[in-house]
Chains A and B, each alone.
Chain A
């Protein structure tokens, strides 16, 4: 059984359920709406665009969970993935 599992990635429906639940609960618990995330996203774009050219379409921002280094408890984290096209000169001194 485990041999089979090694070759195929898990497609058990319960794993899908668990993953979906974890994500939806992060939003439920933090009381964060998608609109709220959009607001953060556009402000981040605004700030970073002063210093570098970024791929706005490829920008991804989400709430997830991460383990705290100090005691391994799970805490919510805001993760942003911002692809940079190129640096702007006016950001340099």
Chain B
């Protein structure tokens, strides 16, 4: 029986879909059979982020309505082994599916795949309830901004109220230069406020835009620092003890020198 992981955030635009695509592809690179489920009905995007938009025939709502079999709606990503996408419907709305149906769907998928990753829509209404219905683990994505952290806190409360205990946090789009000048909350600030376990920190990285332009998740790009962060996150979910990245790599010459001689700031 595979694990069903929901990627959620409350606020829109913090990187849920990007995180879903990268973690899912990362699982596939680690040899795990994985299916990505786009639960954002009416505003589907996981298909374009994955570069699979031209291959959609059936969607999630078709499966639920019995228009097609589950197998028929799954799109195989030919670039990676054992990676599939179940796209959302674009023309229906969130009420086209019920939490009960989502639960049945994800448990069906969990019989065949090691990991079922559900991309949750923004908000706390029906779409959110659908997305979390079948999950047995939740990952909360936030960025270091007051609005995103506030919404993350709300989502954490709602997840726990719905029996998804101990969600884990991904801090996305961290800008090390701004953290250094004290103009962006750092990792400790956010953990202090949200009081949940940190799963990973994804630095702000232009590669994410470029890779989304191309429809190739950054996790496959060895030059991308965000890709590296996602590879680490995947390993941590798989139970490996991966230390958090040293994000101070763009530091000045003097502090590098200091570090060489062992005077570096501890962190």
Contact = CB atoms under 8 A, between A and B. Distances in A.
B146 interface: yes
A21 B182 contact: no
A92 to B, nearest CB: 47
A78 interface: no
Given A17-B146, A28-B150, A29-B153, A22 B184 contact: no
B183 interface: yes
Which bracket fits the contact residues of A? 10 to 19
Nearest to B189: A18
Given A14-B183, A14-B185, A14-B186, A21 B154 contact: no
Interface in A1-60: 10, 12-15, 17-18, 20-22, 24-25, 28-29
B193 interface: yes
A21 B186 contact: no
Given A14-B189, A28-B154, A29-B157, A21 B149 contact: yes
Interface string B145-188: 11001100110010000000000000000000001011111100
24 contacts: A10-B182, A12-B183, A13-B182, A13-B183, A14-B179, A14-B182, A14-B183, A14-B185, A14-B186, A14-B189, A17-B145, A17-B185, A18-B189, A18-B192, A18-B193, A21-B146, A21-B149, A21-B193, A22-B193, A24-B146, A24-B150, A25-B150, A25-B193, A28-B150
